[in-house]
Amino acid sequence: MLFTTDYYNEYNVMNYTYAKLKEYILKKAGSIICGIPLILLGLGPMIASAQTGRTITVEEAIQLGIANSKLLKVSQSRIDEAVARFNQTKDRALPTASASYGYSHATFLSSKFELPGSSDDPLRLPSKADAFIGTISVQELIFAGNKLRYAKESTDLLTKIARLDADKQKDDIIYNIISQCYNLYKVQQSRKVVEQNLQSIDQQLKQARQFFSQGLVTKNDVLRFQLQHNNIELTGVDLEANRKVVNYNLNILLGLPENTELQLNEFGYPADRSASLISLIDTALSNRQEVKEYDLRTQLAETNIKSVKADLLPTLSASGSMYYINPTGKFIPQANTFLAPVSVGATLAWNIDRLWTNKNKVSEAGIQKNEAEIGKGISIDNVKTEVNQDYQDFNRSVERIKILENSIQQAVENDRILESKYRNNIASVTDRIDAQTQLFQSQINLELARADAGLAWYTLLKSTGTIK
């Protein structure tokens, strides 16, 4: 190749300009680097008050949510209350005792007392009288138709029901946490797809501008790519707003600072789906709190029937008392100047009217038992229906993933072909943008389908009572 004098001079000027520009950039870069510590020092307080990021797994989120749940603390208080009532019922088996000690002072306004019609000398009274009187008594119920035992059984069953309610609420909280995690995961994955497509459309827009400068495409083609870029940016704005809402709600649910930026690790669903619908239903019937609760309520109704029937039986109780009577007025009397009788007795009582007044109470308790048995049957039907629905939803979600994965492959190939055609000015800009839009939508649909399949799996676990 031959170099002319003008070309050689231009080449030297370019080298000289490049050297000066390089020297200027290095000089400015040095001053910027030297100023970085001062800049960081000034931004220190701002960085400290900025949002904090945290990467978290679903298991960690569940642990935080359970530890900080106010609803679970209320449920625990209800359990403690039921346990306290049970202990109060056990205390009723202990003997009751009472003690009293009193002082009395009497002043007589008249020192003589004469019976009407009596010729004897009147009775002469002291001007005043003092006395100390004390009493100690102990009572013990020996037999009351086993009502005390039935009361213990009833309160014990109510305590178990309270624990089941707390377990059910705990499962609901766990599922709510998982659901919020998947919502955040959906937004995060969708944002990644949006960012990838923005990079792709930027390249297409740059290429379209080059083609326009060469007269290969029209200005309208460039505007179409710019419009596509703006539409994707609008999708990103909506996703960011949704992410902030879900992130804030999840922070509240987990008890984390409200400005914590959460980042979830990728998670999905188990590949092994060998469990049959029948086995899942059997698992649900043996684990669901609703079914167990109706079993306990049936036992509670049976215990109430026994307790009502126990009113027909007589009661036997024993008691013992000791009295102390000191009429001398002295706190510590002399010997043989006070009385201290002791009495021991037993009482057999029978409310005969219960023979004809209790039959309606027994009938009411029997109706409550029948309602509990019917409620259990309804609960079993609801559990079977729920498990079947969740099982079908999970399988459908997995199948959708397979179909969408094939759609992605087809959309990628279609996008590649139309890009090549567009480069060669065979396809229109409309066809090029449509292919890119289909690929963009397919990618988002696939990410959402994967998240939906994971959530459907946890929904199935919840319906079988094994989400723990």
Q: Tokens 């001079």 sit at which residue?
A: 9
Q: Is residue 445 part of a domain?
A: yes
pTM of whole model > 0.95?
no
> Hey, which residues does 263 pair with through a beta bridge?
55
Number of other residues whose CB lies within 10 A of the CB of residue 223 = 12
- DSSP 8-state assignment for residue 339: B
> Residue 21: what residue type?
L
> Do 322 and 395 belong together in one domain?
no
> Do 239 and 137 belong together in one domain?
no
Q: Nearest Cα to 189, choosing from 449, 459, 453?
A: 449
Backbone angles phi, psi at 416, to 5 degrees: -65, -45
CB 197 within 8 A of CB 440: yes
Q: Is residue 118 part of a domain?
A: no
Q: Is the dihedral of CA 149, 155, 156, 157 positive or negative?
A: positive
Q: Is residue 114 part of a domain?
A: no
Q: What is the mean pLDDT of the chain?
A: 82
Highest mean pLDDT (candidates 184-193, 221-230, 377-386) = 377-386
- DSSP 8-state assignment for residue 51: P
> Do 331 and 403 belong together in one domain?
no
Point out the domain boundary residue: 333, 349, 365.
Answer: 349
Mean pLDDT, range 410-420, rounded to an integer:
90
CA atoms of 119 and 136, how far apart (whole Å): 44
Residue 33 has a pLDDT of 33
Q: Mind giving me the DSSP string for 82-145?
A: HHHHHHHHHHTTSPEEEEEEEEEEEE-S-SEE--TT--SPPEE--SEEEEEEEEEEEEEEEEST
> Do 322 and 381 belong together in one domain?
no
Q: Tell me if residue 181 falls in helix, strand or coil.
A: helix
- 48 band by pLDDT with thresholds 50, 70 and 90: very low
> Do 25 and 167 belong together in one domain?
no
Instruction: Judge whether residue 270 has pLDDT over 80.
Output: no
> Any idea what the CATH number is for the domain that residue 444 is in?
1.20.1600.10
Domain that holds residue 326: 96-105+126-143+315-349
> Do 76 and 25 belong together in one domain?
no
Instruction: Judge whether residue 401 has pLDDT over 60.
Output: yes
Mean pLDDT, range 437-465, rounded to an integer:
89
Instruction: Judge whether residue 15 has pLDDT over 60.
Output: no
Q: Is residue 111 part of a domain?
A: no
Q: Is residue 112 part of a domain?
A: no
> Do 252 and 159 belong together in one domain?
yes
Q: Is residue 453 part of a domain?
A: yes
Please write the tens of the pLDDT for every residue from 227-259. 988 988 998 899 899 999 999 999 998 999 989
Residue 272 has a pLDDT of 61
Q: Tokens 């300009």 sit at which residue?
A: 17
The tokens of 468 are what?
Answer: 């723990």
Mean pLDDT, range 301-318, rounded to an integer:
88
> Do 266 and 219 belong together in one domain?
yes
> Do 310 and 454 belong together in one domain?
yes
| pLDDT above 90: percentage of residues in the chain | 31
Q: Mind giving me the DSSP string for 183-223?
A: HHHHHHHHHHHHHHHHHHHHHHHHHHHHHHHTTSS-HHHHH
Residue 36 has a pLDDT of 34
Residue 295 has a pLDDT of 93
Residue 9 has a pLDDT of 40
CA atoms of 52 and 263, how far apart (whole Å): 11
390-429 CB burial, b ≥16 within 10 A, e <16: bbebbeebbebbeebeebeeebeebbeebbeebeeeebeb
CA atoms of 382 and 346, how far apart (whole Å): 55
Number of domains in the chain: 3
Please write the tens of the pLDDT for every residue from 324-361. 888 887 878 888 888 889 999 998 888 888 888 888 88
Residue 16 has a pLDDT of 40
Instruction: Please report, for the chain, how many H helices and E strands are present, in that order.
Output: 10, 8
Backbone angles phi, psi at 242, to 5 degrees: -65, -40
Instruction: Judge whether residue 187 has pLDDT over 60.
Output: yes
CA atoms of 146 and 153, how far apart (whole Å): 11
**Rounded (to 5) percent helix, strand, coil in the chain:** 70, 15, 20
> Residue 264: what residue type?
L
Lowest-confidence region among 81-90, 105-114, 304-313, 395-404? 105-114
> Do 134 and 163 belong together in one domain?
no
CB 112 within 8 A of CB 124: yes
The tokens of 226 are what?
Answer: 């710019």
> Do 227 and 340 belong together in one domain?
no
Q: Is residue 117 part of a domain?
A: no
CA atoms of 180 and 62, how far apart (whole Å): 11
Q: Is residue 1 part of a domain?
A: no
> Do 344 and 422 belong together in one domain?
no
